[in-house]
Amino acid sequence: MARVTFVHADGVEEVCTVDDEESIMEIATTQGIDGIVAECGGNMMCATCHVYLALVEQGPFPPVSVYEDAMLAETASPRTAESRLSCQLIVHGDTDVRVRLPESQL
């Protein structure tokens, strides 16, 4: 069972667990985490599933692709070195990860 902790911009934390392989974006939208909009449904077509993921936690995930990089340039909240599109972050097995949500996605 994988576990994702969402830290809202105001510091409030919510924890979601998932049995199957799923993206952090899917977990957030299907389980009702406010703060992830995911307008395009996980196809790297928008930048509304933006999260901050500490660099030390990025190890298990693939690096930022060219398309993800291009979309991250257009996030509503500031892009930092920790910025990722959560649709590209797939969790499975015993992944236990913590992401911070931006102030806004639109």
Partner 1 sequence: MVGGGHGGIEVATWLRRQKYAGDVALLCGEGVLPYQRPPLSKEALISPESPAPLPLRQRALLDRAGIELVFSRVVAVDRTSHTVQLDDGSKRTYEHLVLATGATPRGEDLSGRLGGRWHRLHTFDDAQGLWADIASANTVTVLGGGVIGLEVAAAARGHGVAVDVVEASERAMARMVSPATSERLAAVHLAHDVRLHFDSTITTVRGDKPYVVHLADGQRLNADVLLAAIGSAPNDTLARMSGLTVDGGIIVDSCLRTVDHSVYAIGDCARFPAGNATIRLESVQNAVDQARHVANVIATGNDHPCRAVPWFWSRQYGSMVQIAGYGDTDEDVVDDHGDGGFSVFAFDREQITIVESFNRPSDHALARRLLRGGRPIAPRELRDLGFYRPIGHAPTSQQTSRAASRAGDRAFSVTATE
* Strand pairing class (50-53; 96-100): antiparallel
Q: Looking at beta carbons only, is 57 or 79 nearer to partner 1?
A: 79
Question: Contact, 1 vs 88, CB < 8 A?
Answer: no
Collapsed DSSP state (helix, strand, coil) of residue 95: coil
- Listed in order, strand segments (DSSP E) in the chain are 2-7, 13-18, 22-23, 50-53, 83-85, 90-91, 96-100
Q: Looking at beta carbons only, is 41 or 60 nearer to partner 1?
A: 41
Q: How far is the CB of 60 from partner 1 (least distance, A)?
A: 22
Q: How far is the CB of 59 from partner 1 (least distance, A)?
A: 26
Q: How far is the CB of 3 from partner 1 (least distance, A)?
A: 16
Q: Which candidate, 97, 105, 106, places its Cα nearest to that of 7?
A: 97
**Under rule CB under 8 A, residue 46 binds partner 1:** yes
**Under rule CB under 8 A, residue 83 binds partner 1:** no
- Given the rule CB under 8 A, which residues bind partner 1? 26, 29-32, 34, 39-41, 43-47, 67, 70-71, 73-74
